[in-house]
Amino acid sequence: MGELVRYKSLLIKNDARCQVTINFYHNWDVVCWLRHASNVIRPGTTFSRSHKKGCRIELIARFESDSEKGKKVLSKPQAWASDQSIRITDNLDIEMNTLTSEEKKSCLRKKNRGEELASLEAGGCNLYNILRLNMKEVRAMAKKEQDEEIKKAYYREIKIWHRYCNPDGDDDIAREVIMAYEILGNREKRARYNNMADYDSGWLSMRRFKAIFFPECETMAQRLAWIKRMGFLALTVGIRNHRSICK
């Protein structure tokens, strides 16, 4: 109950056919020159945020089609100091209401889950974290054990967040869990994701070196692609060495 009172929650539903950007400004920034955070809300999705201190928010619609391209300011920076529910209609109108108790609880659940996922592993959240797994520990297991661990984690999380299993669940989080399992539950997709995660780990990291020269390959197509890539690399190095010798 105390958490419901301490935190101010914001829920935005984007029913428009274009992306909407929400910019956050500190309350002391009266001119609203320096935004401290920004998020993109895709069409047909919702965005929630809970914070102890309010701030100023600005909503901007960004549209791009064959006939037009540009942006429209839906809401100039205004104070967010209480629980609010904002709906952006198909005509880019804004409907503002007070959050219901269920919507407030949903916002706080997402806040707590976000903090929990961020604390699971250094370097930010990944698909393994969505299933509350440690990426490094799972990848150290044998392939069959990985499959079993990921499946077990998926069923555990879906029972918590899917409304069919739990009336107090959350549709957005359930979709995240399903999306994570669709990738990690498939060995080929999981190998591709692991290689991408390794490659993005840093310029001089061993994980990037591994992703380039010793990537995970689950199918013949992945192995052939790696052989082809190494062949082009060797050919490029050979041509450069030949040119340097000729000079």
pLDDT of residue 1: 47
Contact 226, 191 (CB under 8 A): no
At residue 236, what are phi and psi to the nearest 5 degrees? Answer: -65, -45
CA-wise closest residue to 54 among 33, 26, 76, 13? 26
Helix, strand, or coil here: 31? coil
pLDDT of residue 223: 92
Contact 211, 195 (CB under 8 A): yes
pLDDT of residue 124: 55
pLDDT of residue 66: 56
79-104 confidence digits (pLDDT tens): 887 888 999 999 899 998 988 888 88
Residue type, 176: E
For residues 179-192, b (16+ Cβ closer than 10 Å) or e, as one string?
A: ebbeebbeeeebbb
* Stretch 67-73: mean pLDDT: 76
pLDDT of residue 121: 59
199-216 confidence digits (pLDDT tens): 888 888 899 999 989 999
Task: Give the integer Cα–Cα distance in Å for 185 and 163.
Answer: 22
Confidence check: pLDDT of 7 > 90: no
The share of the chain scoring above pLDDT 90, in percent, equals 40
Confidence check: pLDDT of 5 > 60: no
Confidence check: pLDDT of 242 > 60: no
> Ranked by mean pLDDT, which of 81-85, 115-119, 166-170, 185-189 comes out on top?
185-189
Distances (CA, A) of 111 to 40, 104, 108, 114: 17, 11, 5, 5
- Here the tokens at position 6 are 């301490």
Query: DSSP H helical segments within 123-219, as ranges?
Result: 127-130, 135-139, 143-161, 171-184, 187-199, 206-213
- Here the tokens at position 127 are 């698909």
On the CB side of 181, how many CA atoms lie within 13 Å of its CA?
Answer: 19
How does the average pLDDT of the chain come out, rounded? 86
**Residues, the chain, total?**
247
97-125 confidence digits (pLDDT tens): 988 888 888 888 888 887 777 766 555 56
* Stretch 56-64: mean pLDDT: 88
Distances (CA, A) of 117 to 15, 18, 97, 112, 172: 28, 29, 30, 9, 15
- Here the tokens at position 237 are 């190095």
Rounded to an integer, what is the distance from CA 197 to the centroid of its chain? 14
